Amino acid sequence: MMPAISSPPPLNLTSCDQEPIRIPGSIQPHGFLLALRQDAPDVIVQASDNLAALTGVALEQALGQGLPVVLGVAAAQLQAELAANVIGAQPSYMGTLRTPNGRHFDVLAHTHDQLLLLEFEAVARVAPPDFRHLYPKVGNFLLKINDLQDIVEMSDLAAQQLRDVTGFGRVMVYQFDRDGHGLVLAESRAPGYSSYLGQRFPASDIPRQARELYRLNRIRLIQDAHYAPARLVPPINPATGAPNDLTYAALRSVSPIHLQYMRNMGTLASMSVSLMVKGQLWGLISCHNETPLPVAFEQRAVCEQLGQILGLCIETRTDAAELQFRLEVRRTMVSLLAGLSQQADFADSLRGVFPQLLRFARASGAAIVADNRVLRHGDTPDEGEIHELVQWLAESGQQDVFHTDQLKSLHAPAARYTRNASGLLAISISRIHPHYLLWFRPEVVHTIDWAGQPQAKDGPGQLTPRLSFDTWRETIHGTSAPWHDGEIELATEFRSALLGIVLERAEQMAELAEELGRANKELEAFSYSVSHDLRAPLRHIVGFSDLLLETAGTEDQEKRRRFLKNIKDSARLAGKLVDDLLSFSQMGRAALHPTRVDMAELVRGCIQKLGLDIRDRRIEWDIGKLPIVRADPTFVQLALYNLLANAVKFTGGREVATIAVSATEDENETVFHIADNGAGFNMDYVHKLFGVFQRLHRMEDFPGTGIGLANVRRIVERHGGRVWAQSTLGEGATFSFSLPKNIAIE
């Protein structure tokens, strides 16, 4: 028994985006449709209600029966093709067959929503399509398009080729812009057809869900805009219990609004071929004809191939142009970063490259906002307006890189300065403070020629198709040239580079501050030494000079000699202190001259120089095997001499002094150790050991200026090494220093 036929639900056309174009419940009547369950493909479960008109077989006879009821002996041919092929979502050609009433049909098959959908398109020929006369057109198109680089020229060639293949009166190629409007790039038309070249079709002509269909099903044909749709019976998919999804069906019926749109345009037949670039709907090839026009499967197949070729060519040319553009912007960015000076004030450093900043973003003006300062270059809003703009950026939580070519639409006060700042590109150059680098683009007043006024609605909420396609010109104000995707991405990269430079400068400043802090401590110690250590011998000189004057005329020569000796010793101490201060000062200024240094020879030379200090003392020297290193021999000898002299001095209380010099090394550095059995020191104060004028023993016990170890530290650090010490109070000390094997000389 035939299922009851119910009418499909009425269409709600209050919103074009809600129109159920995937489930129209009907097909175009130049063919018929049979549906079989995928899991039981021997029984017809659904058919279009024009079945009897095209085959002579009534719906009641077909539903619930097998294919032979409708196709007769041709059913075996079709079933063999179905068995031999893998049927997917996209329609596949299954052959041309003859029905029992003598008519011929091209058969397309695809699976969707648990159904095997068979579409039968009526054709005049009695044999399968012959592609031999069409393939040369594809080959010729390939040869010609390979010689073209311009997208408009390629589109023009494609329009001519499709018109030649199909016979449509007008073929247009248009590209969608970011707002969904279609700009006609190329056109091929027969005499008497109006031209739309250079005009735009509003986005409302192709709503969102229609675009998605163009992405999924790459070709769509309407043979006659006056057609009466053939309904599916039953109207509900028997496998799913929901209306049939005819997304991939070649015969799918289209929106009644679109049919009226075509009739208003004077077009009774149309075909659209999707142009896909990188998986996105880039544009369409749109074909129009003033009278009904059938387009056979083989012609559509060739058109689809031509569309695929054009899409691939557009992608390669676009990629090449994009790469060239990005390379040019990157070169500017590299030059820009290289041109940044090493000034402490980062904003002033950026100000020095303002011309390159404008070239980087193709902007007419730029500004740097840091703290309360605004540095401007080129054509920009005034300082107060920039402060206000930055405050808005900070308070509105805009991302690290912000861009717009219609600033006044987002920030109303910008309407005052649309002339020079309709477009804005802003990057935050601080993670803490509202510091920004801003680029401005001026207003570009331009006109758009629309193919009819872009008006989607007529009346209170009910959609109606456009009635007019007469050229309508609109003048656009308050916008700038758009920002290129490459500019946005490289601006993000540029921001990261700037933040890296800022962080590096901050680290350098922190390191400098630490060095200055240490220098200040040394300066404080120097001041103390000048006021204490140097003043003491000078007082002695003055005091004993006074005593010497008081004894003038007396005969006590012994006392006079003692006074003179004290004066001489004090003067020698003062001179030694001054010499050590000068030596320490030179350590930070003199250039190093590294060469091969025999450390064993240096140690022998230092011991020889210490002979006057050693005199008749008993010192056992233990000199290990010492390597040859790369260093400045003069400075390293001074460091060794200071360490050995200290070892001699602080073992003065030992009957037998033991001083050992040894070395260890690894792949990165060589370490030298000078160990003694002297007085040692308290490790609680080891942090003071290498500071200027720092003493861990009384001056009376171990005289000295307190500069020697500071000199050692400075010499070793100038070589890129490190210095340290270990000790047990009263048992001796070991002083160590390292020299890297690959010395980075300042």
Phi, psi dihedral angles at 44 (to 5 degrees): -80, 120
Please give the Cα distance from 585 to 576 (Å, whole number): 14
For residue 413, give the DSSP letter.
G
Lowest mean pLDDT among 33-47, 337-351, 456-470, 527-541: 456-470
| Residues in a beta bridge with 457 | 463
Nearest CA among 396, 373, 395 for reference residue 383: 373
pLDDT tens digits for 134-160? 888 888 899 999 899 999 999 999 999
Does position 664 have pLDDT exceeding 50, yes or no? yes
Residue 14 banded pLDDT, cuts 50, 70, 90: very low
Nearest CA among 532, 690, 711 for reference residue 637: 711
Does position 12 have pLDDT exceeding 60, yes or no? no
Chain centre distance of CA 238: 50
Does position 185 have pLDDT exceeding 70, yes or no? yes
Segments in 411-484 forming alpha helices (H): 418-421
At residue 277, the pLDDT reads 93
Phi, psi dihedral angles at 34 (to 5 degrees): -125, 135
Residue 68, exposed/middle/buried by CB under 10 A (0-12, 13-18, 19+)?
middle
Helices and strands (DSSP H and E) totals, the chain: 21, 27
pTM greater than the 0.85 cutoff: no
Does position 702 have pLDDT exceeding 50, yes or no? no
At residue 681, the pLDDT reads 85
Does position 97 have pLDDT exceeding 60, yes or no? yes
Does position 10 have pLDDT exceeding 50, yes or no? no
At residue 49, the pLDDT reads 96
Does position 512 have pLDDT exceeding 90, yes or no? no
If one compares 9 and 18, the residue with the highest pLDDT of the two is 18
Segments in 186-226 forming alpha helices (H): 208-216
Furthest-apart CA atoms within the chain: distance in Å:
159
Structure tokens at 500: 């890296």
Residue 460 banded pLDDT, cuts 50, 70, 90: very low
Residue 741 banded pLDDT, cuts 50, 70, 90: confident
Chain centre distance of CA 413: 31
Phi, psi dihedral angles at 363 (to 5 degrees): -110, 160
Nearest CA among 404, 486, 386 for reference residue 441: 404
Residue 334 banded pLDDT, cuts 50, 70, 90: confident
At residue 699, the pLDDT reads 47
CB within 8 A of 162, min separation 6: which ones?
Answer: 168, 171, 188, 273, 285, 287, 303, 306
Nearest CA among 396, 46, 48 for reference residue 236: 46
Question: How large is the average pLDDT for residues 213-242?
Answer: 94
Does position 445 have pLDDT exceeding 80, yes or no? no
Does position 662 have pLDDT exceeding 70, yes or no? yes
Hey, is 420 helix, strand or coil?
A: helix
Locus of tokens 């010490």: 725
At residue 658, the pLDDT reads 92
At residue 461, the pLDDT reads 38
pLDDT tens digits for 486-510? 888 888 888 877 777 765 665 555 5
For residue 684, give the DSSP letter.
G
Residue 532 banded pLDDT, cuts 50, 70, 90: very low
Question: How large is the average pLDDT for residues 684-696?
Answer: 65
Does position 463 have pLDDT exceeding 60, yes or no? no
Nearest CA among 214, 31, 11 for reference residue 117: 31
Please give the Cα distance from 275 to 318 (Å, whole number): 14
Please state the length of the chain: 746
At residue 572, the pLDDT reads 60
Does position 3 have pLDDT exceeding 50, yes or no? no
Question: How large is the average pLDDT for residues 414-428?
Answer: 89
Lowest mean pLDDT among 177-191, 398-412, 569-583, 682-696: 569-583
Whether 491 contacts 401, CB under 8 Å: yes
Does position 359 have pLDDT exceeding 60, yes or no? yes
